[in-house]
């Protein structure tokens, strides 16, 4: 019997504190109008001092488990995508496993920056298809605000905190139709965050904050995401009109609009959370998926294209029949 991966639950969590564009304009030379025009962002959520990637992941995961109507102990595999782990080790996935009270499952983190959720979905799909797991919990959880230099106008306006989760189960019906993931380390210096502890010369260590050459990243993202749309459609012998919903990584409205144009889709067919969440890195696609499903915009039988682009560079897509 052929096995497929099917979505049975989603969840999300956003911290209570909101930082507006006006708040940021008190820190750097900018304005609400300037930020919104260039990015599409007005607000972003900021984690409280006592919140961690694991604590946010727990809330999002429990919501996905509740929607799925299963017991946490039924989960075979936990994959957490994060660039802001609670500890170097153990993994945030192991910390989440302990918080959920699960003892007999595999748990590990992956780091693919903003593409992390897509990479995790691709890995989970392989586990389910080959029979190594039945139920897989995927969480993207990020506290980007702690990696941002709040004096750098080019990056501090972009990022927010949050966690998104999706629970997959094995099924005889097609759910995840295909995943496509790619990496190219040639462009490592266009978007990166140093690890000061790993520096060979501590006196020369860079600060552990996000550094980005925005214009170059923008051009690469638009071109790369255009190519992966073609790759995904070709692999599934589908036309653009076969896609019901686009769920893009929430980085910039201009990048999102360019991908929608590539698919000849109306923005009414695109789930956009960017305005009030900012870029939550690996959490963004899962947060948008959760919003689309819980708002009942996405219905069973709809075909969804998820796509993301992140530091590395990494990029990927997942085509899903919900």
Tens of pLDDT, residue by residue over 260-315, are 999 999 999 999 999 999 999 999 999 999 999 999 999 999 999 999 999 999 99
Spot the catalytic one: 45, 94, 105, 279: 279
- Residue 231: the pLDDT is 97
- Residue 205: the pLDDT is 67
User: Which residues share a beta bridge with 11?
Assistant: 165
216 and 287 both lie in a single domain: yes
Those residues with Cβ within 8 angstroms of residue 1's Cβ, 6 or more apart along the chain or in another chain? 172
Q: How far is residue 171's CA from residue 4's CA, in Å, rounded to a whole number? A: 5
182 and 256 both lie in a single domain: yes
Q: Which of 139, 155, 173 is the last residue of a domain?
A: 173
Q: How far is residue 77's CA from residue 107's CA, in Å, rounded to a whole number? A: 6
Spot the catalytic one: 156, 249, 252, 290: 249
Q: Which of 173, 189, 221 is the last residue of a domain?
A: 173
**Number of domains the chain contains:** 2
pLDDT in tens, 85-115: 999 999 999 999 999 999 989 999 999 999 9
Q: Which of 173, 193, 226 is the last residue of a domain?
A: 173
- Rg, Å, the chain Cα set: 19
62 and 186 both lie in a single domain: no
183 and 307 both lie in a single domain: yes
Answer whether residue 121 shows pLDDT above 90: yes
Is 279 a catalytic site residue? yes
Q: How far is residue 56's CA from residue 23's CA, in Å, rounded to a whole number? A: 24
157 and 209 both lie in a single domain: no
The residue segments making up the domain with residue 283 are: 177-321
- Residue 214: the pLDDT is 86
167 and 181 both lie in a single domain: no
127 and 229 both lie in a single domain: no
231 and 141 both lie in a single domain: no
135 and 250 both lie in a single domain: no
The conformational region for residue 264 under phi > 0 = left, psi -120 to 50 = alpha, else beta, is left
Spot the catalytic one: 114, 144, 156, 193: 114
CATH code where residue 275 lies = 3.40.47.10
- Going by DSSP bridges, is the β-strand pair 17-20/43-46 parallel, antiparallel, or unpaired? antiparallel
Burial (Cβ within 10 Å: 0-12, 13-18, ≥19) of residue 249: buried
95 and 123 both lie in a single domain: yes
118 and 216 both lie in a single domain: no
pLDDT in tens, 220-265: 999 999 999 999 999 999 999 999 999 999 999 999 999 999 999 9
- Residue 317: the pLDDT is 98
154 and 187 both lie in a single domain: no
């Amino acid at each position: 019997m052929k096995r497929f991966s099917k979505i049975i639950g989603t969840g999300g969590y956003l911290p209570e504190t909101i930082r507006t564009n006006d708040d940021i304009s008190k820190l750097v030379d900018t304005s609400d109008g300037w930020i919104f025009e260039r990015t599409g962002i007005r607000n972003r959520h900021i984690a409280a001092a006592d919140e961690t990637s694991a604590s946010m992941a727990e809330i999002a995961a429990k919501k996905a488990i509740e929607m799925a109507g299963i017991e946490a102990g039924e989960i075979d595999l936990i994959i957490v995508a994060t660039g802001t782990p609670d500890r170097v080790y153990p993994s945030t996935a192991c910390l989440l496993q302990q918080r959920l009270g699960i003892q007999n499952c595999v748990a590990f983190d992956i780091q693919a920056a903003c593409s992390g959720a897509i990479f995790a979905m691709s890995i989970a799909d392989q586990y389910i298809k080959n029979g190594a797991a039945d139920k897989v919990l995927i969480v993207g959880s990020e506290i980007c605000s702690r990696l941002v230099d709040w004096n750098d106008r080019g990056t501090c306006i972009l990022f927010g905190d949050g966690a998104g989760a999706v629970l997959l189960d094995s099924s005889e019906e097609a759910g995840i139709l295909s995943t496509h993931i790619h990496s190219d380390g040639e462009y490592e210096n266009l978007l990166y965050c140093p690890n000061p502890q790993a520096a060979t010369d501590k006196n020369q260590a860079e600060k552990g904050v996000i550094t980005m050459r925005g214009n170059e990243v923008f051009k690469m993202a638009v071109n790369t995401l255009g190519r992966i749309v073609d790759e995904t459609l070709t692999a599934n012998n589908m036309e653009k009109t076969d896609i019901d919903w686009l769920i893009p990584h929430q980085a910039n409205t201009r990048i999102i609009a360019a991908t929608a144009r590539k698919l000849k889709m109306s923005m009414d067919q695109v789930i956009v959370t960017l305005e009030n969440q900012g870029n939550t890195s690996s959490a963004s696609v899962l947060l948008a998926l959760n919003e689309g499903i819980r708002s009942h915009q996405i219905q069973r039988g709809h075909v969804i294209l998820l796509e993301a682009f992140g530091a590395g560079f990494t990029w990927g897509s997942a085509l899903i029949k919900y």
